[in-house]
Structure 1
Amino acid sequence: MQSTNLNMHVAGLLVCGRDPGVMTDEQAHAAMQLHIDCTVDSCLVRRRARTTLVESGKCVLDERALQL
């Protein structure tokens, strides 16, 4: 199978310890589903995805998520 930019970006979503970089809302949604068992504290992909969705207004965080 030939590697394309799309394939490389999807592959980048699979590794919890690697920041995938800028995501579209659709990519962020897919990443949240792929990393459903991860936490934003331990998974860079889920953290980036959540940030993307919050910044675009697609996700509103509960007060508990905002407490440090």
Structure 2
Amino acid sequence: MQLTNLNMPVASLLACGNDPGVMTTEQAHAAMQLHLDCTVDRCLVRRRARTTLVEAGKCVLDDQAERL
């Protein structure tokens, strides 16, 4: 997927400190790829994306990840 197809301002996905708001699963997947080296405890974009994917049943967390 190209970033231009996300139907949201790409800039909202670039900075770890930005909360991009509600995401689709496609947007969340792209955000996870953009923030591959980030952790959910420090990166709002990755945290929001992970939550979106978990709620959609696209991602299953292990016991350790569920504590964050």
**TM-score of the superposed pair, with normalisation by structure 1:** 0.85
How many residues of Structure 1 are paired with residues of Structure 2 in the alignment?
62
- Alignment partner of 1:27 is 2:24: no
Alignment-derived partner of residue 58 in structure 2: 58
- Please name the residue that 1:3 is paired with: none
Matching residue's letter, 1:55: E
Instruction: Report the residue type matching 1:42 in the other structure.
Output: R
Deviation at 1:67, TM superposition (A): 2.6
Runs of 4+ in 1 over 6 A off after TM superposition: none
User: Counterpart of 2:10 in 1: which secondary structure?
Assistant: helix
Runs of 5+ consecutive residues of structure 2 not aligned to the other structure: 1-6
How far, CA to CA, are the matches of 1:67 and 1:41 in structure 2?
A: 10
TM-score by length of 2: 0.85
Compare CA radii of gyration and give the structure with the larger one.
Answer: 1
What's 1:13 paired with? 13
The residue identity in structure 1 corresponding to 2:63 is E
- State the Cα distance separating 1:9 from its structure 2 match: 2.0
What is the aligned-residue identity percentage? 79
Aligned CA-pair RMSD: 1.2
